[in-house]
């Protein structure tokens, strides 16, 4: 492979909702550029990109993959990203390093909620886009509806650069609205076509769209606008200039069309990727901070600048070890060199630099500004870290990881596998930061959390395949709490005499409720030395130990104060242990008398759903004892804000997906604890008791 200058590089993400045909498009690109000798197919398992067993089984992309190719003397680094809600976090992680993106839209399904999310992220990371309307050869394909969807759902200005000749079974090819020529395809999967004049029945529509294309390109450039106003015409070269300018500035989004699986419209798309998508030089200067003094630093996309890069993905394998993928923002880096990791404040020794090619990698001598490459077996570097020249350090801001929305408790299928499970899952979280593992001391459970049920199930499948550890997924226990509703005073005398030195401690305490979230407070109001100073901490310690198991369901008690105001001691028989026991027993008795209540965790939720699903979602929230706090419009969707008990939304992810036909997204985080309604408390405690038994 030839070495390309930075201005000839294109870092390109293929993004879009699930089942839009992203991987099929990448397969067609690789085939047309000579990187593969056959057109890989997702449906028959011959895809070069979806090679993980979990992907082949489900026929979906689960984790982003990279490949590269050459087209018209340009070097294209292609990132094939997931589109299903459970795996969109991986797509977001890749957005930070993309130069541009091809947004895939299905001519059958139009724009879904996932596409709106991806569009928002592309805006956030300032990623220029072009759109490709795919699947025009499928039943119910509707090109114009898909284009309208882009405008109404995403709020952008779509501008057709080509249009289809027919749809569904009548789909024959595409019309180039710049050259004003038609391409009639042979449907031989090789992408061969005949270039002919535009069929008469399509001429009027092609002329109309050609004028709209010229107008859009003129509006993107002042000089072109002047000429267009004078002549009402632009040359092909001028249209291409305006097309590039409009794409880079986001004034409009060029729209192409075809069929990835039939290899139609792909070569023309490649032509315009080279023309419209930005090089690293077009993306301009990258900004960061100096890790030593916190001052602003900047790096130009120049091979002669000090080296800097960001690690955006980690692949972990039990046999080959860890592979870190990074995008070079400035400078040049060679194999077998030393770089600095400012996040971990240490140097890393690079081995062989590798160029990703699907599931394989090709060794290269060096990488320059703009390249996306991989390095194996770095010791401390993880996803999100910056790598740079130790003499000119810079720290780039890392995108914030998405928060998990669903959790399961894990149980080992075979006894003694716990450590193997935890070790394997820890490795999996290295390559998937949206997956989290924690041990809950309170419930004695190992909890796995992810972006959805399928996300967690895939992780469990990988755990078995890669690390030989099998687990059972169970619903996690809800971390209830207990509290009290009224103030009580309690006296407890601990006296034990059975030969030898006895035990004596006498305490008087006042137990009072506090506001929710204020925690525990111990107040010493002993006067006159009735309880010696040295024994008072023991009373506090005794209370702290037993407050972890309340009188109702054995849950921790919270939000109360204990005042020790009186007591007595024995000069010989009193001890720290005696006062610890007295304190704990006094608290237990006081707690039972103080009208104990059960508290449940309440979650703060933001649910993004299409307008037509809002009524269903709000009704469902009300049935779950939720409180809807408000709604914010967002494109063709609404963001419903609500608070709802955790116990009611443990399995919300698949239920929302069912309710909204997989068009709903949500985030969830802990908000506060709230009293369980009295009419539910007895029933709940009975259920919890049965589960324990």
At residue 3, the pLDDT reads 66
Task: Outline where DSSP puts E strands in 272-413.
Answer: 286-289, 296-299, 308-317, 321-330, 332-334, 338-341, 346-349, 353-357, 360-364, 366-368, 372-376, 386-388, 406-412
The CATH number given to whatever domain includes residue 411 is: 3.30.70.870
| Amino acid 218: pLDDT | 93
Q: What average pLDDT does the segment 12-24 reach?
A: 92
pLDDT digits (tens, 9 = 90+) for 107-133: 998 888 788 889 989 999 999 999 999
Q: Which residues pair with 668 in a beta bridge?
A: 605
- Residue among 315, 194, 258, 273 at smallest CA distance from 24: 258
More confident: 485 or 359: 485
Q: Is 132 within 8 Å of 264 (Cβ atoms)?
A: no
The CATH code of the domain that includes 555 is: 3.30.230.10
Whether 565 and 639 map to the same domain: the answer is no
Q: Are strands 353-357 and 488-496 parallel, antiparallel or unpaired?
A: unpaired
The DSSP secondary structure of 239-264, one letter per residue, reads HHHHHHHHHHHTS-EEEEE-BTTTTB
Extract the runs of DSSP E, i.e. beta strands, from 417-463. 436-440, 445-450
Number of domains in the chain: 5
Residues 19 and 114 in one domain: yes
State the Cα–Cα distance between residues 427 and 117, nearest whole angstrom: 28
Q: What is the mean pLDDT of the chain?
A: 90
- Exposed, middle or buried: residue 345 (CB in 10 Å: 0-12, 13-18, 19+)? exposed
SS3 (DSSP) at 661: coil
Asked if residue 312 and residue 278 are part of one domain, the reply reads no
643 bridge partner residues: 604, 627
**Could you say which DSSP state residue 664 is in?**
-
What pLDDT does 443 receive? 74
In a domain, 397, yes or no: no
- pLDDT of residue 636 exceeding 70, the answer is no
Looking at the domain assignment, is residue 401 inside a domain? no
pLDDT at 184: 95
| Residue 22 pLDDT greater than 90, yes or no | yes
**pLDDT class for 1, splitting at 50, 70, 90?**
very low
Closest to 688 in 3D by CA, of 482, 412, 486 = 482
End position of a domain, from candidates 230, 258, 283 = 283
Looking at residue 441, its pLDDT comes to 75
116-119 long-range Cβ contacts below 8 angstroms, 24+ apart: 116/153, 116/154, 116/608, 116/634, 116/635, 116/636, 116/637, 117/88, 117/608, 117/665, 118/15, 118/16, 118/17, 118/83, 118/88, 118/91, 119/154, 119/156
**Gap between the Cα atoms of 176 and 256, Å rounded:** 9
Question: What is the tens place of the pLDDT at every residue in 336-373?
Answer: 999 999 999 999 999 999 999 988 889 999 999 999 99
29 with 77, same domain? yes
On whether both 121 and 267 belong to a single domain, the answer is yes
Beta strands across the sheet bearing 386-388:
346-349, 338-341, 386-388, 308-317, 321-330, 372-376, 353-357, 360-364
Q: Which domain holds residue 427?
A: 406-474
Average pLDDT of span 394-403: 86
Co-location of 411 and 428 in the same domain = yes
The answer to whether residue 400 sits within a structural domain is: no
Whether residue 682 lies inside any domain: the answer is: yes
**What confidence score (pLDDT) does residue 634 get?**
75
Residue 360 lies in a domain: yes
Judged by DSSP in three states, 643 sits in strand
Q: Are residues 95 and 127 in the same domain?
A: yes
Q: What is the CATH number of the domain that holds 224?
A: 3.40.50.300
The last residue of a domain, from among 440, 474, 508? 474
**CATH value at residue 636:** 3.30.70.240
> Average pLDDT in the 190-195 region?
90
Is the same domain home to 262 and 376? Answer: no
Q: 226 and 369: one domain?
A: no
Burial letters for 251-272: b for 16+ Cβ neighbours within 10 Å, e otherwise? bbbbbbbbbbbbbbbbbbbbeb
Same domain, 257 and 212: yes
- Residue where a domain terminates, one of 215, 250, 283: 283
Give domain status of residue 1, yes or no.
no
Does residue 481 lie in a domain region? Answer: no
Question: Tens digits of per-residue pLDDT, 139-191?
Answer: 999 999 999 999 988 889 999 999 999 999 999 999 999 999 999 999 888 88
What pTM value is reported for the model? 0.81
What per-residue confidence (pLDDT) applies to 648? 92
The H-or-E segment that residue 307 falls in is none
In this predicted structure, the answer to whether residue 664 has a pLDDT above a threshold of 90 is: no
pLDDT in tens, 487-497: 999 999 999 87
Note whether 532 and 666 are same-domain residues. no
% residues pLDDT > 90 (the chain):
64
**Cα-Cα-Cα-Cα dihedral sign, residues 356, 360, 361, 362:** negative
Q: Provide the percentage of residues in the chain whose pLDDT is more than 70.
A: 98
Q: Identify the CATH number of the domain in which residue 338 sits.
A: 2.40.30.10
Q: What is the pLDDT of residue 114?
A: 82
Q: Please check whether residues 556 and 497 belong to one and the same domain.
A: yes
In the structure, what pLDDT confidence band is assigned to residue 508 with cuts at 50, 70 and 90?
very high
Q: Is the dihedral of CA 137, 140, 142, 148 positive or negative?
A: negative
Q: pLDDT-derived band of residue 446, with 50, 70 and 90 as boundaries?
A: confident
Residue 670 lies in a domain: yes
């Amino acid at each position: 492979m030839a070495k390309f200058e930075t201005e000839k590089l294109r870092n390109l993400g293929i993004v879009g909702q699930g089942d839009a045909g992203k991987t099929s498009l990448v397969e067609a690109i690789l085939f047309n550029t000579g990187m593969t000798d056959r057109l890989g197919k997702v449906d028959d398992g011959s895809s070069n990109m979806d090679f993980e067993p979990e992907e082949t089984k489900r026929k979906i992309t689960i984790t982003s993959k990279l490949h590269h190719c050459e087209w018209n003397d340009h070097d294209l680094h292609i990132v094939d990203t997931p589109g299903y809600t459970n795996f969109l976090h991986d797509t977001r992680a890749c957005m930070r390093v993309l130069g541009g993106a091809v947004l895939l839209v299905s001519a059958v399904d139009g724009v879904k909620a996932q596409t709106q999310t991806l569009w928002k992220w592309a805006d956030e990371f300032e990623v220029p886009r072009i759109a490709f309307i795919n699947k025009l050869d499928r039943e119910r394909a509707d090109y114009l509806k898909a284009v309208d969807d882009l405008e109404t759902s995403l709020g952008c200005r779509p501008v057709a650069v080509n249009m289809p000749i027919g749809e569904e079974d009548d789909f024959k090819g595409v019309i180039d609205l710049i050259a004003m020529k038609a391409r009639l395809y042979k449907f031989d999967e090789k992408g061969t076509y005949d270039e002919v004049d535009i069929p008469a029945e399509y001429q009027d529509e092609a002329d109309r769209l050609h004028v709209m294309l010229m107008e859009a390109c003129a509006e993107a450039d002042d000089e072109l606008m002047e000429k267009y106003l004078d002549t009402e015409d632009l040359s092909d070269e001028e249209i291409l200039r305006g097309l590039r300018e409009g794409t880079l500035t986001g004034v409009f989004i060029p729209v192409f069309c075809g069929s990835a699986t039939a290899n139609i419209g792909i070569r023309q798309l490649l032509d315009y990727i080279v023309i419209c998508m930005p090089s690293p030089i077009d993306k301009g200067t990258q900004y960061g901070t100096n890790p030593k003094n916190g001052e602003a630093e900047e790096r130009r996309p120049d091979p002669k600048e000090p080296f800097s890069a960001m690690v955006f993905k980690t692949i972990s394998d039990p046999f080959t070890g860890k592979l870190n993928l990074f995008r070079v923002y400035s400078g040049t880096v060679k194999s077998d060199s030393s770089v600095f990791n400012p996040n971990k404040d240490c140097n890393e020794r690079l081995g062989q630099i590798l160029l990703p090619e699907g599931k394989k990698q090709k060794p290269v001598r060096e990488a320059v500004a703009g390249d996306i490459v991989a390095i194996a077996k770095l010791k401390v570097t993880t996803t999100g870290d910056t790598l740079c020249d130790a003499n000119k350090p810079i720290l780039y801001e890392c995108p914030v990881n998405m928060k998990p929305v669903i959790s399961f408790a894990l149980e080992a299928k075979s006894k003694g596998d716990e450590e193997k499970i935890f070790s394997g899952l820890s490795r999996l979280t290295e390559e998937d930061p949206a997956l989290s593992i924690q041990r809950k001391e309170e419930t004695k459970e190992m909890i796995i959390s992810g972006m959805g049920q399928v996300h967690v199930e895939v992780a469990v499948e990988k755990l078995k395949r890669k690390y030989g550890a099998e687990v059972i997924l169970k619903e996690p226990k809800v971390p209830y709490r207990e509290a009290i509703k009224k103030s009580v005073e309690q006296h407890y005398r601990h006296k034990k005499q059975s030969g030898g030195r006895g035990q004596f401690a006498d305490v008087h305490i006042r137990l009072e409720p506090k506001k929710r979230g204020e925690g525990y407070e111990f107040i010493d109001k002993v006067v006159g030395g009735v309880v010696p100073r040295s024994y008072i901490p023991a009373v506090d310690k005794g209370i702290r130990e037993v407050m972890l198991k309340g009188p109702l369901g054995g849950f921790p008690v919270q939000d109360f104060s204990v005042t020790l105001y009186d007591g007595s001691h024995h000069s010989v028989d009193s001890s720290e242990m005696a006062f610890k026991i007295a304190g704990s027993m006094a608290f237990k008795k006081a707690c039972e008398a103080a009208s104990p209540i059960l508290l449940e965790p309440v979650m703060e939720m933001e649910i993004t759903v299409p307008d037509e699903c809002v009524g269903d979602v709000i009704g469902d929230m009300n049935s779950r004892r939720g409180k809807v706090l408000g709604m914010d419009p967002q494109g063709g969707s609404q963001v419903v804000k609500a608070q709802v008990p955790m116990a009611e939304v443990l399995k919300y992810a698949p239920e929302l997906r069912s309710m909204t036909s997989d068009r709903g997204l949500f985030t969830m985080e802990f908000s506060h604890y709230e009293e369980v309604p009295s009419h539910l408390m007895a029933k709940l405690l009975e259920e919890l008791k049965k589960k324990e038994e």
